[in-house]
C-alpha cells in the first residue's frame, strides 16, 4: 500500500483539484490519501480563534469563508441539483459543529487547549470531505477515513502531539482492509482522553508518515509545489540544483534548519521500516511522473560531500554570562528546567567557560529573557540577547569525517568579510551551522554555495 499526501500548497486554486484528480488516477488501489486544509485555511481559523473573544461577528465571517471556498471547488464537479443540495447541506452541518465550539470560546472568553485543537482540525476535515465528494462523483471508489475511526492515538500533548505507535499501529493497519481509496484528514490524531489532538503546524506530513509506519507502506509520496530539495534556496542562488537522493537524517536536518518543504518530524516514523519518502512536484509533468527527491535510509556521499545549504531567520540567542558557568554544576539544569516549565523549546545550547548561548525561536526570545531575569540563577550575572541573526546550515553525509569542510566554510564567509557569531561543528554527523548577521545572510549563502559546489573548487 502507498500513502499519498497532498499539502495546502496543492490546494491553492480551484483548478488545482484537477491536477490532484489526475495524480490520484495514476495510482493503483488500495491507496491512502492524506490531505491538508485548503491553502491558508488553518491560518484563517487560527486568527478567528484569536479574535473571537471580543468579536462575535467573526464566527459567521469564518463560516462563510469556509463554506464558499469548499462550495466553489465542489461546484466544479457536482452537477445535479439534488446532489449539490445534499452535499452542501452536509458541508453546512459540519461547519455548524465547528461554529458551536467558536461560540463556546466567545462566551467563556478563552480557548482551552483541547478546544483550540478541535476547531483547527476543521480545515482538514472539510478538505477531506470535499475531495471525497469529488472522487465519488468521478466514480472513483473511495471512503473518508478519519483518525477517530482508525484509532490514530497520540500522547496527548495539545497542539504538538506525537503518535503513540504502540497503541495505534495494529488498529490502524487493520482498519485499511478494502481495495479502495481512503481519504484521511491530516494534522490530527486522538488524545488518550478521546480529544482531537494536533501534530503541530504543518503536521499533515507527520500524519502521513505515521500512517505509513502503521500500515508498513511501500512508500510515502508527498506532493508539493516545489522542485524537490535543492542545493540552496533558488531565490538566493538561482542556479541551485536538485538533490535526487538523501538520507532521512540529512532531510531532517535541512528541514529543521529552515528548508520549509517537509515537516522536520515526518522522517522519524519512516526510519525503522525504511519506508522511502518520494517528493513530487504537482506543477511538473503529470504524464511522466517521477520523484524529484527520494529520501531513504541510504546514505550517499557525493563528491561535494555537502549536499545543501539551508537557513532560518527564526533564531535568536539568549546569552547567560558569568565567570564560572563552565565549571559550576547545575546551572544549565536550572535554566533548561525553567524553560521547559514555561513551554519554551530550546533549539540548541553552546557553552564556554563564561557564556552559555541558548538558541531559541525568535518568538520565544523575550519570554526566555524575562524568565531569566525573574529566576536570578546563581552564577549568572548578565543576561543578553542577540537578534537579527540568521542560522546557515550545511548538510551532507560524511561532513564530519572529511577533512577541510570547516576550512571551506570559513573561507567562503571570510571572502565576503563575514564574521560567524556562533559555529557548531561535529555535533551532528551530517550537519554543521554558523550564525551570521541577518543582513549578511544572502551573501554568505551565495559564497558558501559557490565554494562547495563550483566546478573549480571540486
Ligand atoms: N493545515 C495545517 C497547517 O497549516 C497542517 C498542514 O498543512 O500540514 O499547519
Ligand atoms: Mg502544509
Q: What is the pLDDT of residue 377?
A: 86
In a 3-state reduction of DSSP, which class is residue 211?
A: helix
Output the CA 393–ligand 2 centroid distance in Å. Answer: 23
Output the CA 372–ligand 1 centroid distance in Å. Answer: 33
Q: What is the pLDDT of residue 455?
A: 57
Q: Is 37 in the pocket of ligand 1 (CB under 6 A)?
A: yes
Q: Of 199, 202, 317, 208, which Cα lies nearest the Cα of 255?
A: 202
Q: Of 225, 170, 162, which Cα lies nearest the Cα of 198?
A: 162
* pLDDT band of 426, cuts 50, 70, 90: confident
Distance of CA 153 to the CA centre of its chain: 19
Q: Is 204 in the pocket of ligand 1 (CB under 6 A)?
A: yes
Output the CA 203–ligand 2 centroid distance in Å. Answer: 7
In a 3-state reduction of DSSP, which class is residue 373?
A: helix
Torsion of CA 67, 71, 73, 78, to 10 degrees: 160
* pLDDT band of 427, cuts 50, 70, 90: confident
Edge to edge, what strands does the sheet with 431-437 contain?
A: 308-312, 389-395, 431-437, 422-424
Distance of CA 258 to the CA centre of its chain: 10
Nearest atom in ligand 1 to the alpha carbon of residue 123 is: 1
> Which grid coordinates belong to 157?
500533548
In a 3-state reduction of DSSP, which class is residue 193?
A: coil
In SS3 terms, 212-275 reads as HHHHCCCEEEEEECCCCCECCCCCCCCCCCECCEEEHHHHHHHHHCCCCCCCHHHCHHHHCCCC
CB distance 164 to 153 below 8 Å: yes
> Which grid coordinates belong to 417?
568579510
Question: Tens digits of per-residue pLDDT, 186-215?
Answer: 999 999 999 999 999 999 999 999 999 999
Nearest atom in ligand 1 to the alpha carbon of residue 204 is: 8
Output the pTM of the full model: 0.93
pLDDT above 50: residue 398: yes
Output the CA 6–ligand 2 centroid distance in Å. Answer: 9
- Give the number of whichever ligand sits closest to the CA of residue 35: 1
Question: Tens digits of per-residue pLDDT, 343-392?
Answer: 899 999 988 889 999 999 999 999 999 999 998 888 899 999 999 999 99
Mutate to test the pocket of ligand 1, among 36, 43, 208, 262 (most ligand atoms within 8 A of CB): 36
Q: Is 291 in the pocket of ligand 1 (CB under 6 A)?
A: no
CB distance 209 to 277 below 8 Å: yes
Q: Is 202 in the pocket of ligand 1 (CB under 6 A)?
A: yes
Amino acid at each position: 500500500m502507498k500513502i499519498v499526501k497532498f499539502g495546502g500548497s496543492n490546494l491553492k486554486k480551484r483548478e488545482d483539484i484537477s491536477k490532484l484528480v489526475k495524480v490520484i488516477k495514476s495510482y493503483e488501489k488500495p491507496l491512502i490519501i492524506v490531505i491538508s486544509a485548503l491553502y491558508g485555511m488553518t491560518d484563517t481559523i487560527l486568527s478567528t480563534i484569536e479574535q473571537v473573544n471580543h468579536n462575535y461577528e467573526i464566527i459567521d465571517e469564518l463560516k462563510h469563508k469556509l463554506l464558499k471556498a469548499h462550495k466553489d471547488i465542489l461546484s466544479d464537479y457536482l452537477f445535479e441539483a439534488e446532489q449539490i443540495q445534499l452535499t452542501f447541506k452536509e458541508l453546512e452541518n459540519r461547519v455548524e459543529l465547528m461554529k458551536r465550539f467558536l461560540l463556546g470560546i466567545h462566551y467563556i472568553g478563552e480557548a482551552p487547549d483541547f478546544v483550540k485543537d478541535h476547531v483547527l482540525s476543521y480545515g482538514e476535515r472539510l478538505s477531506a470531505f470535499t475531495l471525497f465528494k469529488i472522487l465519488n462523483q468521478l466514480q472513483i471508489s473511495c471512503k473518508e477515513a478519519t483518525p477517530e475511526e482508525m484509532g490514530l492515538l497520540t500522547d496527548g500533548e495539545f497542539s504538538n502531539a506525537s503518535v503513540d505507535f504502540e497503541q495505534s499501529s495494529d488498529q490502524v493497519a487493520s482498519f485499511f482492509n478494502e481495495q479502495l481509496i481512503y481519504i484521511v484528514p491530516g494534522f490530527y490524531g486522538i488524545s488518550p482522553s478521546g480529544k482531537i489532538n494536533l501534530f503541530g503546524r504543518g503536521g499533515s506530513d507527520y500524519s502521513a508518515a505515521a500512517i505509513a509506519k502503521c500500515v508498513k507502506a511501500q512508500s510515502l509520496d508527498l506532493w508539493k509545489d516545489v522542485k524537490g530539495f535543492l542545493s540552496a534556496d533558488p531565490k538566493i542562488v538561482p542556479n541551485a540544483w536538485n538533490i535526487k537522493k538523501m538520507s532521512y537524517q540529512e532531510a531532517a536536518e535541512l528541514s529543521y534548519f529552515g528548508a520549509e518543504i517537509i515537516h522536520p518530524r515526518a522522517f522519524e516514523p519512516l526510519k525503522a521500516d525504511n519506508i522511502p519518502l518520494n517528493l513530487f512536484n504537482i506543477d511538473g509533468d503529470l504524464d511522466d511522473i517521477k520523484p524529484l527527491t527520494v529520501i531513504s535510509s541510504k546514505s550517499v556521499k557525493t563528491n561535494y560531500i555537502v549536499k545543501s545549504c539551508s537557513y532560518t531567520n527564526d533564531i535568536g540567542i539568549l546569552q547567560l554570562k558569568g565567570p564560572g558557568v563552565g565549571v559550576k554544576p547545575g546551572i544549565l539544569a536550572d535554566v533548561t528546567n525553567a524553560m521547559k516549565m514555561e513551554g519554551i523549546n530550546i533549539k540548541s545550547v553552546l557553552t564556554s567557560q563564561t557564556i552559555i548561548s541558548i538558541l531559541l525561536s525568535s518568538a520565544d526570545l523575550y519570554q526566555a529573557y524575562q524568565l531569566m531575569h525573574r529566576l536570578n540563577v546563581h552564577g549568572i550575572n548578565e543576561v543578553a540577547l542577540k537578534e537579527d541573526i540568521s542560522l546557515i546550515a550545511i548538510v551532507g553525509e560524511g561532513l564530519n569525517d572529511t577533512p577541510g569542510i570547516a576550512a571551506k566554510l570559513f573561507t567562503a564567509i571570510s571572502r565576503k568579510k563575514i564574521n560567524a557569531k556562533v559555529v557548531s561543528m561535529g555535533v551532528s554527523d551530517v550537519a554543521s551551522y554558523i550564525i551570521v548577521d541577518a543582513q549578511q545572510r544572502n551573501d554568505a549563502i551565495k559564497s558558501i554555495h559557490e565554494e562547495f559546489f563550483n566546478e573549480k573548487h571540486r
